[in-house]
Structure 1
Amino acid sequence: MADTPLAWWRRQGLRFRLTMVAACVLAAALAVAAVALLTVLDRALIGTVDRAIEQHAQQVRVKADTGRLPAPIVTNDGTIVQVLDKDGRITDVTYGADRLVPLLNAAARERALRGGGAVDLDGRPYAISGPLRVVAVSADHGRTVLAARSIGEIAQSLQVAVNVLYVGTPVLLVLLAAASWIIVGRTLRPIDALRRGAAEITHTARSRRLPVPQAHDEVNALATTLNDMLARLEEAEQRQRALVSDAAHELRSPVASIRLQLEVALGHPEGADWQETAEGALEDTLRLSRLAEDLLALARLDERGGRPGRREPVDLDEVVRQSVERYGEAHLAFCDPVVVRGDALDLSRVLTNLLDNAVRHTSTKVEVVLTADGVLTVTDDGPGIPAEDRERVFDRFTRLDSGRSRDEGGAGLGLAIVRETVKAHGGRVHLEDARPGLRVVVELRPVR
């Protein structure tokens, strides 16, 4: 089955298509310009002839009205003049003009006098090659002055112009098409450089960037945008690699602990305390479970690209009340009704992580406050966090020295999950000094 012209056109390169479109537009423009030029030139030349024969006719009319008309009538530019009496007989003419047959018959003279302009006339019956332009002017005593001039030279001039355009226009079109081909090629050269640069970027050269052209144009903006995208992809890959490495490290410790406890118990079954061994293995298994849940939560946040799982109205005060009720050490000091838009499960996880951290480090109690403007604070009276570490603790797998023991629990993912979740809900979170202790401040945007 033969391809359609549209399918063939779509298979052509961008340079070819742009050049062809430019050539077609130029061809149309040149054709219109040529027609306009010939039309204007024709009208200008004919107008010049009309004004000249009109002037001659008026001069003859004046001389005829004053009785000073010479015989024969003299013109210096080849204009033919006939003076007719009221009966249509020729009384005066220029040298060589027909003295018997008027240039215009009675009906044509009447139309020319009413129209007031020049009319076309075939000059061959009067032994004149080419067409004539004739003007009729009324004189005294019913006389009529006819003035005519051949426009064969104008036709020849126009034919010369047509021949020049007929030859010159295709040549000009070819030159302009060649120039368009070169210009389009130079314009697309940076894009080809981008293509080659993208082809050279592999898994072994991830840090390479695409070449950015010097011109501040759309290609420059495209190259800059693509380089920014590559930087984000490289950063995401590095974060993923770091996450995998840290997760493997965190998983290795409880797995190794479980293996060691079981190997010792199986190696010395007569002296093993199976109750203690089971409790230790369960503790490490719970730690593995918490780590797997945290990793799954982070993976879901990354997969959604910084957006909540749902965007529906959530009674934040109810989420806070339900979360606080599960902790005996937590005290809900103040709780205003607040409605936010997001995912209730994700927000509940934020409260759970914050309360787990606060309860783990508090000395006496944990205080929770929710105000009507969407500000949630969780305050403990524990040792707190130094000011220089309050931003670093939001990084993944970051634990301070006081929280590195296995007994303290956690793998350094709790606050990372909190920040990513709050950010996905359009809020922000930061740490403050409670003196004593630490205050976590979560700011969410309530629904008005």
Structure 2
Amino acid sequence: MTGRPARRPTGRPARPARGLRGRLTALTVLGLTVGLAVGGVVLLGALDHTVQRNVDDEAFRTADAVALLAAEDALPDPLPVAAGQVRVQVVDVRGRVRAASIDADRLVPMLPVDRIDHTSRQRAFVRGERLGLPGPVRVVTVPVTGSAVPLPAGSPDGPLPVDSPDGPLTVLVGKSMADVTHSVDVVRSVLLVSFPLLVALLGAVTWRVVGATLRPVEALRSGAEEITGGSGGGRLPVPGSHDEIHRLAVTLNDMLDRVEASRARQRAFLADAAHELRSPLTNMRTELEVAGRLGERTDWPAVARDLLVDTERLSRLVDDLLLLARLDEAAAGPSAAAGSAMPAGSAAPAVGSGTVGGGRLRARPTGPVELTSLVQAVAARFPTPPVRVEPAPGPTWTVGDDDQLRRVLTNLLDNAARHCRDAVVVAVTAAESDAGPSAATGEHLVTVTDDGPGIPAADRDRVFDRFTRLDDARARDAGGAGLGLAIVRELVRRHDGTVRLADADPGLRVEVRLPALTAGPDQETGAADQRVRTDPTG
């Protein structure tokens, strides 16, 4: 497969993309159209059912009144009903009209004989032309029970008894539906005319409302485009309404602030790294150029020694940068994400007043480490000036990575040896709590004390930043690049510990607190062997 995008067929015009405003308006208008259409159909159906029921109720009341007269053999001729669009007939089982209203047909019943049920009430529609009425006609039937109505005078059949086959009578009432049909048609016409106008009006209102709602979103987009097209550092406009868009703008501005701060740190880090890397490379190039110009007068052993010093300095700097990069990668990976979910009520890392640490970044601590033995082994590597070790009265076990803890102690002792006047003291004790020296806090305390110039209290937080060196440590002979304490901070943090700078009067005291291993090393070793070493710095 190639990386080329698929081409649109040239014969088809490209359809314009619909914006969110158009889609929301179209969906709203469609929903309103469907809702109004369904509502109109339901309204017309309910209206038709209601008026037809009213017509049936009125016709049945008329039929019941006539049936009552028929049951009492008191039928007048003609039947007393209001003239107009109502017709009434009384027929027998043979279909003969025994009585009728003044406008009704006296020869032909309103319903065919075979459609008349003389035992139950009926409803039916017939054409109005059959009865001389406009529109469809609603006909209802009501049987007359217990009546014997005599035939008209001169009838050859004579009177029919109630129990004869021709005795039962049925009242037929027909009422025109023209007025009802006209009313329903008027309502239908009004709905058909007003429905499109109402949909158009609601569509226009929806378009305006959606546009006003999305206006802050467009402002956010324009602001983001300006920030993207510029050099960065801008902010998005925050709408005055305290709604979801307001909260989105505030959140995005906070994210932009964090991104800008991260970019500033990255630029400063790259600039400092380039400067620190350029210094030894420049020295090496200068020495080689001078040696080349001197020719045979060059003291090549001295040049080799100087180049070796610069090479070692460059190697340490690269190793420190690589270690910090791996620590940053580990802090931003899944282990940090999982560790950020600290249990409720757990203590937050102490920050400020020269204290750094506490973040839950443990990924590699895999076994018990005896701090006193580790301190003695590291101190033996610094013969000048002498490093005095004050061991704890008992074993001081902690859970951690031996190499990382060794790197912490090496950096601290290297800084102390570089800045001390006469001696460096390393002590391992049980940490003291605010309740007094006898109250153990479940942590071991490792202190590195020197009698040098110390660090002002205002700079004790800043020295843990990368490439931070105070004025008296900027000389090339000091050998530091300002990364030692930054590495100490990250490694101590990975072991759930804290590091703090304090006055030694005179000098500086570095306090490192690490969690104490409550169980013995034998019990802990079995569990430690089951853990997976996941530290990317290893």
Give the TM-score range, shorter chain.
0.7 to 0.9
Query: Which residue, out of 161, 166, 171, partners 1:145?
Result: 171
- For residue 412 of structure 1, what is the aligned residue in structure 2? 482
What is the alpha-carbon distance in structure 1 between the residues aligned to residue 364 and residue 113 of structure 2?
A: 97
Q: Is the 8 A contact 1:359 1:365 kept in 2?
A: no
After superposition, where does 1:112-191 map in structure 2 within 5 Å? 113-114=119-120, 116=121, 118-139=123-144, 140-141=146-147, 142-191=168-217
Residue 450 of structure 2 aligns to which amino acid in structure 1? G
Residue in structure 1 matching 2:236, options 210, 217, 222: 210
The structural deviation recorded for 1:73 is 2.0
Q: State the Cα distance separating 1:138 from its structure 2 match.
A: 2.3
Map residues 9-408 of structure 1 onto 2, 5 A cutoff: 11-76=17-82, 78-85=85-92, 87-110=94-117, 113-114=119-120, 116=121, 118-139=123-144, 140-141=146-147, 142-202=168-228, 204-258=230-284, 275-302=301-328, 306-307=332-333, 314-317=365-368, 325=377, 327-328=379-380, 334-336=395-397, 338=399, 348-349=403-404, 351-361=406-416, 363-367=423-427, 377-383=445-451, 387-400=457-470, 403-408=473-478
Q: Distance in 2 between matches of 1:246 and 1:411?
A: 9
Identity fraction in percent? 40
Matched, 1:441 2:479: no
Quick one: distance in 2 between partners of 1:312 and 1:258? 39
Q: Distance in 2 between matches of 1:146 and 1:12?
A: 64
> For the residues of structure 2 that align with 1:2 and 1:251, how far apart are their CA atoms?
52
Cα distance in 2 between the residues matched to 1:438 and 1:82: 118
* CA deviation string 1:351-402 (max 9, x = no partner): 403432135416455356899x995643223246555443222211223456
Q: What is the one-letter code of the residue matched to 2:221?
A: R
Q: Is the 8 A contact 2:78 2:102 kept in 1?
A: yes
Give, as a single letter, the amino acid of the residue that structure 2 aligns with 1:338. V
The answer for unaligned runs of 5 or more in structure 2 is 1-6, 148-167, 337-361, 381-386, 418-422, 432-440, 518-523, 529-538
> Structure 1 pair 179/305, CA: closer, same or farther in 2 (3 Å)?
farther
Name the CA shift for 1:233/1:150 in 2 (closer, same or farther; >3 Å): same
Cα 1:82/1:439, change in 2 over 3 Å: same
TM-score by length of 2: 0.69
- Counterparts of 1:255 and 1:268 in 2: how far apart (Å)? 20
Greater shift, 240-249 or 28-37, is seen at 240-249
Counterpart residue identity of residue 33, structure 2:
A
Total equivalences in the alignment: 436
1:245-268 CA-to-partner distances (Å, cap 9, x unmatched) read 222333344445445655666676
State the TM-score, normalized to the length of structure 1: 0.81
Q: Which amino acid in structure 1 is aligned with residue 79 of structure 2? A: I
**Cα distance in 1 for residues equivalent to 2:490 and 2:135:** 91
Question: 1:57 Cα shift?
Answer: 1.5
Q: Which structure: greater helix fraction?
A: 1
Secondary structure at 2:117's aligned position in 1?
Answer: helix
Q: State how far apart, in whole Å, the 1-side matches of 2:516 and 2:130 are.
A: 101
Distance 2:41 2:314 in 1: 85
- 3-state SS in 1 of match to 2:116: helix
The Cα offsets for residues 113-134 of structure 1, whole Å up to 9 and x where unpaired, read as 54x4533333332222322222
Structure 1's 2 and 309: CA in aligned 2 closer, same or farther, altered over 3 A?
closer
User: Which one-letter code corresponds to 2:38 in the other structure?
Assistant: V
Q: CA deviation at 1:326?
A: 5.3
**Separation in structure 2 between the aligned mates of residue 406 and residue 78 of structure 1, nearest angstrom:** 119
Distance 1:24 1:308, change over 3 A: closer
Q: Could you say if the C-alpha distance between residues 299 and 158 of structure 1 is closer, same or farther in structure 2, counting changes exceeding 3 Å? A: same
**Which residue number in structure 2 is paired with residue 431 of structure 1?**
500
Instruction: Show CA shifts across 1:63-112 (max 9, x none).
Output: 3333444322233363222122455432222121111222234443328x
Distance (whole Å) between structure 1 residues aligned to residue 320 and residue 8 of structure 2: 59
SS where residue 467 of structure 2 aligns?
A: coil
Aligned-partner Cα distance in 1 for 2:391–2:133: 117
Structure 1, unaligned stretches of length 5 or more?
Answer: none
| One-letter amino acid matched to 2:254 | D
Distance 2:236 2:370 in 1: 48
Call closer, same or farther: CA 1:367–1:118 in 2, change over 3 Å: farther
Contact 1:358/1:379 (CA < 8 Å) preserved in 2?
A: no
- CA distance in 2 between counterparts of 1:277 and 1:2 reads 68
CA 402–104 in structure 1, closer or farther in 2 if over 3 Å, else same: same
CA distance in 1, matches of 2:515, 2:475: 31
